Amino acid sequence: MKFKKVVVGGTFDYLHDGHLAILSKAFELGERVLVGICSDDMRLLLRKDSAGIQPLVLRRRALEGVLRERGWSTRAEISVISDPFGPAAEDAELQAIVVSTKTRARAEELNKIRGSRGLAALEIVEIPFVLAEDGEPISSIRVRYGEIDTRGKLLKQYTS
């Protein structure tokens, strides 16, 4: 493993193959992984559609299940975050952050905050989007709307 402690964060709504890819990379690179999951308050601020994001209790239960299934739970620390940076803005032990193309700018912003606090910048590890069978990125919103399943398979009502 390359790093002692890595961070990854998100809403982890409808855990899908994209989430699994980012988590896999984090656990591949880090001895320990801090997983930030958005609080319900933050979830409400992030709501981008009328269907809404699942409550924290459901998202956390699914995340904990995946961590157990993959044998990662003993190396994971889950932190409920109420802002975009959570403990990553203050944790001096962190060495890297795993992001998608979509969240890289947020990691760069995090590094500026860490620098202003006298903390080392995190190495940013960017992974590509995991694509659904239609070649578009898998996302929770697409799962929520019934376009695809969590593996990226197109659902019948969206096929022509």
| pLDDT tens profile 48-88 | 554 578 999 999 999 999 999 999 999 999 999 999 899 99
Q: What is the CATH number of domain 3-129?
A: 3.40.50.620
Q: Which residue has the higher pLDDT, 156 or 63?
A: 63
- pLDDT of amino acid 53: 87
For the chain, the average pLDDT equals: 92
For residue 41, the tally of other CB atoms under 10 A from its CB is: 12
The overall pTM is greater than 0.75 = yes
Say if CB 41 and CB 82 are below 8 A apart: yes
SS3 state of residue 123? strand
| Torsional sign, CA 28, 29, 34, 40 | negative
- pLDDT of amino acid 85: 94
**What pLDDT band is residue 153 in, cutting at 50, 70 and 90?**
very high
∠ Cα 80 35 96 (to 5°): 130
Give the mean model confidence (pLDDT) for residues 92-110: 96
- Judged by phi (left if over 0) then psi (alpha if -120 to 50, else beta), residue 145 lies in alpha
| Cα–Cα distance for residue pair 15/94, rounded to 1 Å | 24
- pLDDT of amino acid 52: 79
For residue 107, the tally of other CB atoms under 10 A from its CB is: 23
**What pLDDT band is residue 156 in, cutting at 50, 70 and 90?**
confident
SS3 state of residue 27? helix
The residue ranges of every structural domain in the chain are 3-129
Q: Which residue has the higher pLDDT, 121 or 47?
A: 121
Is the pLDDT confidence value at 158 over 90? no
- pLDDT of amino acid 50: 45
Give the mean model confidence (pLDDT) for residues 7-14: 95
